[in-house]
Amino acid sequence: MHPHLAHVFVDGGYLRALAKDFNKVLVNPRDMASQLMKSSAVQTWAYDPSIDPNAFLGRVHYYDAIWT
């Protein structure tokens, strides 16, 4: 069995709102997705003990709508 290839979908508007609410800088979506992939929650999903790591980051999809 092959490792899982994960795609991460990032809602830019929600990410911006979180940064504003917590008075933080906007994070790089690719860096955030990479950290997410390293988490135990993701790595234990559909766990196969013969594969380490169990999931790899395939693609980051960033979507947003700017309100004027």
pLDDT per position as a tens digit, 33-61? 999 888 888 877 767 767 677 788 889 99
What is the per-residue pLDDT for 56? 85
CA distance 7 to 59: 5
55 touches 4 (CB < 8 A): yes
Rounded mean pLDDT of the chain? Answer: 85
Predicted TM-score (pTM) above 0.75: no
> Which of helix, strand or coil describes residue 10?
strand
Q: How confident is the model at residue 18 (pLDDT cuts 50, 70, 90)?
A: very high
